[in-house]
Structures are given as C-alpha cells and as structure tokens.
Amino acid sequence: MIKAIRGVKDILPSEARAWQYVEAISRKLLEDYGFSELRTPIFEDTALFIRSIGEETDIVSKEMYTFPDRKGHSLTLRPEGTASVVRAFVEHKLYAQGPYQKLYYQGPMFRYERPQAGRSRQFHQIGAEVFGLAEPDIDAEMLILLNDLFSKLGLVDVNILLNSVGCPERCRPRYKRLLQEFLRQNFASLCLDCQQRCEKNPLRVMDCKNESCQSVLAQAPVILEYLCPDCLRHHQEVERLLKVADIPYRINHRLVRGLDYYTRTAFEVTASGLGAQNAIAGGGRYDRLVEDFGGPPTPAIGFALGMERVILALAGQASMPKPRPLIYLAALGQAARQEAFLLIRTLRQKGLRAIMNYQDRSLKTLLKQADQMGASLTIILGENELASRRLLLRDMVRSTQEEIALDGDNIASLLEAKILA
C-alpha cells in the first residue's frame, strides 16, 4: 500500500471544518482591512529564494525542495510566501497601480524539516504584505489586524511580541559589533553552533534554544538601546499607536530576525499550550527587498501566520461553529426514490443541505444511516406517503414526527423555518 510521504498530512473532513473556519475569518478580516488576494505559483525559479532568503540560512542551505525540471532548470517549491509576492509585485509593476498596495495570500509552503507537532513538510500559511508605506502607522495596523484576527477566531491566550532591528546602515553594524564583542567574552559558554554564528552572523545566536546560550543572552546588550534617532522615533511611534489602540504587547529583545533585509519593526505572536513551537505568526518590515529585486525603492511590511499551529491552538481554546444542518431524504421503493430524487434538487436549489439514500433499504436501516451521517431532519417517503401526497418529517434530535404536504417549495420553506428555530 502506498502511503502519504513522511511529514506530509491529509486534512480529513473532520479537520477541514476548522481550516475553513480560520480561512473564512482571515479572508473576511483581511478584505475589511483593504487587502486583495494575490495567488502566485507554488514553484518558482530557485534563484528567487536564494536571493531573497539568503544562501547562508537554514531554509536555503538545508530545507528547500529543489529539483530540475525536464529541461534542467532548477525549480523550488516555495518555502515561504514573501519572495513570490515581491517578485509578482515587481514583475507586474503593481507599484504603478496606486499609492500603496495591500496584498494577501494563502496556501501551502514546503520545507524539509524534522516533522513534529505543528510542523509538517507541507505546511500552510496565510500572509499579508503592504508595499509603499514607510510610516509607523501601518506597522501598528498590522499588529492590530493580527490582534483582531486572533480575537475573532476565539483564540484568547496569545502574546504579541515586538522589537526593532533598526536599519542596516546605522543601527545594525554598531549593534552587531557590540554583540559580537559580548559573545566573544562569553565564548566558552556558547554551544558549538553559536560559536560559529558569533563570527558569521551574531544576531542568529538570539534564536538558539540551548539553555547555556539563553542564560548568556540574558546579559547581552539590547538593540533598542542602540537605535539611530530615526529608527528610534519610528519604534516609539509604533508603541504609542499600539497603546492608543489598547493592544497588549510585550517588547522582546531576542526578536531579531537574522536576515539582512529586515528593517525596523519585527514582531511575533505566540500562543500558550503549544510547547516550544509556540509562534503562530511572525513578520516585520523589509524596506530594501523590492529594490533588491529590481523594483523602485519601496518600503514594505508583512506577516505570515501558520495554519497548522493556529488550528492546534484553537483545538484547546475556541468552540468551532457547527456545520449547517443536514437533511436526509429516506425513500422506500423505486417510485418514492424517483420522487425524492426530484424533491432533493428543489431543496438544494433553495440553498438547503440535503442527502438521500440511493439504495433500497428498510426504514429502520435508513433512519440509522441518517443518524450516522449526521442528519438533523429526515423526510420519509414511502408508498403510502406517495399515494396521499403527505410525507413524514422526523426531527432526529427530538425524535418527533409530523406530516407535511408533498410540495417542494412548501417543504423548503418549512425546513428553513425549522432549521432557523
């Protein structure tokens, strides 16, 4: 028997409702905030990701699904969404279509990582990017949007973590040197990986989960104290706006994204009860990337949320909405089945959710099947009912029964009223 590939999961019908719920609420809220959907292909030229994410990163060096196509071009299944959105933004000159652009995307991403709870090799993200705004207002708005989204989803136990990574011209070189000096003084207490990072990319030490490294970092210099005046003003304004909007957040000094294209605002949202992999969304400002891709200088900011982890967190907290009531047509005998076959079409045209039996079975069996399939109302059509043009409507929850006239439109409005009651 051929099974699904390790680290890749089927989303079964019993789970898909939660996915649809998160997708529908996210989509609605993003549209309310003025975002439009952008759908990019799932695979791209490998060079796109090497250039945007960087050759030195774990994603590019170890985790990408890269393969040659039949002509030998190197293609890669997208490991994240931003690179493709930036490519499309530049390629289609979307910057010429208005003062700024708000775009969102959703879909699968692919990384060859060790599978564990909340992390699969095909995982799913919903992401949003804003192009053309350098103002701190939009940084604050992105966090307000995430706050509103998680509260609409019913996820109460979340934390918004905020930091600034400054600019690559003035803030970061100075801070990197200071951090490097500090790490060298504590070199012996660092893990082997961090000893290497110390020389190549000291900021990445911040992400290390090693306990010894963590305790060293508790004493490390914090970047917020070394921001240039412009970056500091930007950061203070983001904080002020969050306070004005009454959005709870915490400053996290370790939140420094190791990629060079990040500028100023960096943020993460964590949810309780998820263990070590507790980040459910993350993002930041990247004011240089569009220019790096051959577009005009365009400030940008974005975030992505991980569907698997959001759904995992929801399972512990929110109550998922119930599916729409299901109506079961139980038809006994050939003539009744034919009648049901036509009646069910009328019900569906009226927007009702209905199924029927396609095989001859006893009434007892059909009622059992209706129950098994989750019907809340069952309509019974037998030879007698057909002759008298009166059907039986059975309420599966209350186990009550009543007679109704065989008339499609009439039945549809009666069912609607019952469902609403």
Among positions 42, 222, 228, 404, the unique one binding Zn ion when judged by CB under 5 A: 228
Nearer to Zn ion, 210 or 272 (CB): 210
Residue list 161-190, contact with Zn ion (CB under 5 A)? 166-167, 170-171
Query: 388 burial class (0-12, 13-18, 19+ CB within 10 angstroms)?
Result: exposed
Nearer to Zn ion, 222 or 228 (CB): 228
Query: Side chain identity at 249, as an amino acid letter?
Result: Y
**Euclidean distance between CA atoms 389 and 405, whole angstroms:** 6
Alpha-carbon Rg of the chain, whole angstroms?
28
Q: Shortest approach of Zn ion to residue 281 CB, angstroms?
A: 25
Residue 231 lies near Zn ion (rule: CB under 5 A): yes
Q: Closest distance between Zn ion and the C-beta of residue 203, in Å?
A: 13
Instruction: Report the residue count for the chain.
Output: 421
419 binds Zn ion (CB under 5 A): no
Site size toward Zn ion, by CB under 5 A: 11
* CB closer to Zn ion out of 19 and 182: 182
**Do the beta carbons of residue 122 and residue 91 sit within 8 Å?**
no
Least distance from Zn ion to the Cβ atom of residue 277, Å = 18
Q: Provide, rounded to whole angstroms, the least separation between the CB of residue 252 and Zn ion.
A: 17
- Pair of tokens at residue 317: 């907290």
Considering only residues 113 to 172 of the shown chain, the ones binding Zn ion according to CB under 5 A are 166-167, 170-171
Residue number with CB closer to Zn ion (216 or 412): 216
Say whether residue 392 binds Zn ion (CB under 5 A). Answer: no
**Nearest to Zn ion of 69, 211 (CB atom):** 211
CA separation (Å) from 338 to 1, 332, 342, 357, 394? 40, 10, 7, 11, 20
- Looking at 60-68, 194-202, 342-350, 363-371, which segment touches Zn ion (CB under 5 A)? 194-202
Q: How far apart are CA 367 and CA 370, in angstroms?
A: 5
Which span (204-212, 217-225, 348-356, 395-403) binds Zn ion, by CB under 5 A? 204-212
Name which of 208 and 274 has its Cβ closer to Zn ion: 208
Q: Report the b/e string of 327-354 with b at 16+ CB within 10 A.
A: bbbbbbeeebbebbeebbeebeeeebeb
Output the smallest distance, CB 286 to Zn ion, in A.
14
User: What tokens appear for 271 in the block?
Assistant: 């949810």
How near is the Cβ of 194 to Zn ion at its closest, in Å? 3
Interacting stretch for Zn ion, rule CB under 5 A, among 40-48, 112-120, 131-139, 208-216? 208-216
Identity of the residue, 79 or 166, whose beta carbon is nearer to Zn ion in the bound complex: 166
Q: Give which of 399, 395, 358, 397 is closest to 379, Cα–Cα.
A: 395
CA atoms within 13 A on the CB side of 393: 19
What are residue 23's DSSP bridge partners?
A: none
Select the residue interacting with Zn ion from 158, 162, 208, 300 (CB under 5 A).
Answer: 208
Closest approach of Cβ 254 to Zn ion, in Å? 12
Interface with Zn ion includes 194 (CB under 5 A)? Answer: yes
Residues 6+ apart with CB under 8 A from 400: 394
Pick the closer one to Zn ion by CB: 168 or 382.
168
Work out whether 191 is an interface residue with Zn ion (CB under 5 A): yes
**C-alpha distances out from residue 30 to 51, 105, 145, 161, Å:** 28, 10, 8, 21
The neighbour count for residue 145, using CB atoms within 10 Å, is 18
Site residues (vs Zn ion, CB under 5 A): 166-167, 170-171, 191, 194, 208, 210, 213, 228, 231
